[in-house]
Copies of this chain bind each other. A is one copy, B any other.
Amino acid sequence: MTPSLDATQLGAYFALIEASSLLKHAVEQQLREAGDLSYVQFQLLATLGDAPTGSRRMTDLADGVVYSRSGLTYQAQTLEKRGLVTRTQSSDDERSITVTITDEGRAVLAKVFPGHIAVLGDLLFAPLSRADIETLADILTRTRDHMRQTPPRSAEPRRRRKPTSAAE
């Protein structure tokens, strides 16, 4: 039996993808104008700014914003050149790099934040009631957590044992 989706599921899926794309796109414009930041750069700064120490390991940052390691290396270099973050060797693990947001980084963050909030309010939240937002947060948080837990290793078709043929 082919597990086909019904209309509602399809609708939820498309709406999710479309809504996030449209939102991301709009936010990107605002961030570019307000502080010359790409969306990822903003996410990185925001993540760091939110951390108690203002710093995180490269790998954790990459996982946090769902980005490739090599891509993060590139962005970290870019942000470092602009003086928005610093990169230092970790003391306990020689190969680990700790990225830390600078005061200037926080300044840029503070500069773009109001506009960012405004876009969210105008586009994402405008047509929603308080209850809607709570519901949305609840539902999405559940799937997000589920996806985070689920086999991070791509769509590795759970090939249990099947030693005989193995093909591939």
A residues within 8 Å of B by Cβ?
Answer: 2-5, 8-9, 11-13, 15-26, 29-30, 33, 43, 65-66, 113-115, 117-128, 132-137, 139-148, 150, 154-155, 157
Contacts and interface: CB of A to CB of B under 8 A. Distances in A.
B117 A142 contact: no
B127 A143 contact: yes
A130 to B, nearest CB: 8
A117 B66 contact: no
A121 B114 CA distance: 37
Q: What number of copies of this chain does the assembly contain?
A: 2
Given A13-B120, A19-B140, A143-B128, A8 B133 contact: yes
30 contacts: A2-B114, A2-B117, A3-B117, A3-B118, A4-B117, A9-B120, A9-B125, A9-B137, A12-B134, A12-B136, A13-B120, A15-B140, A17-B20, A17-B43, A18-B66, A19-B140, A21-B65, A22-B144, A22-B147, A23-B147, A33-B155, A115-B157, A123-B146, A124-B147, A127-B143, A127-B146, A128-B139, A132-B139, A135-B139, A136-B136
Given A17-B24, A19-B143, A8 B155 contact: no
